[in-house]
Amino acid sequence: MLERELQVSNKLGLHARAAAKLVQLLSGFQSQVTLLGRGREVNAKSIMGVLLLAAAPGATLVMRAEGADEAEALAAAAALFERGFDEDG
C-alpha cells in the first residue's frame, strides 16, 4: 500500500465537478483507492464518498492506494490535484 498527502489547490475546493474528474480518473485503475480527511475515510472512486469529505480550498487529504497499479494511480491523482483539477484560477 502506498500513501500520499495531497492539498486541494483549486479555488472552489473539492466540489462536484472536481470530484467527478477525480473519480473518472481513478476508475481507470485496478487498485483500491481511499481518501482520508476530516476524520473520514472514503472510497476515492465514489463521487458520493469524495463529496462527503467537503474538502475546502487548502485542505490536506491523505490518499491511499493498494493494488497492482497503486503507484500509477497515486501519481495520476497527485498530478490532477497539483493542476487544480484543470480549473482556471
The catalytic residues are 15
* Matching residue, cell 491523505: 62
Sign of CA dihedral 77, 24, 44, 73: negative
What count of other Cβ atoms lies within 10 Å of the Cβ of residue 62?
13
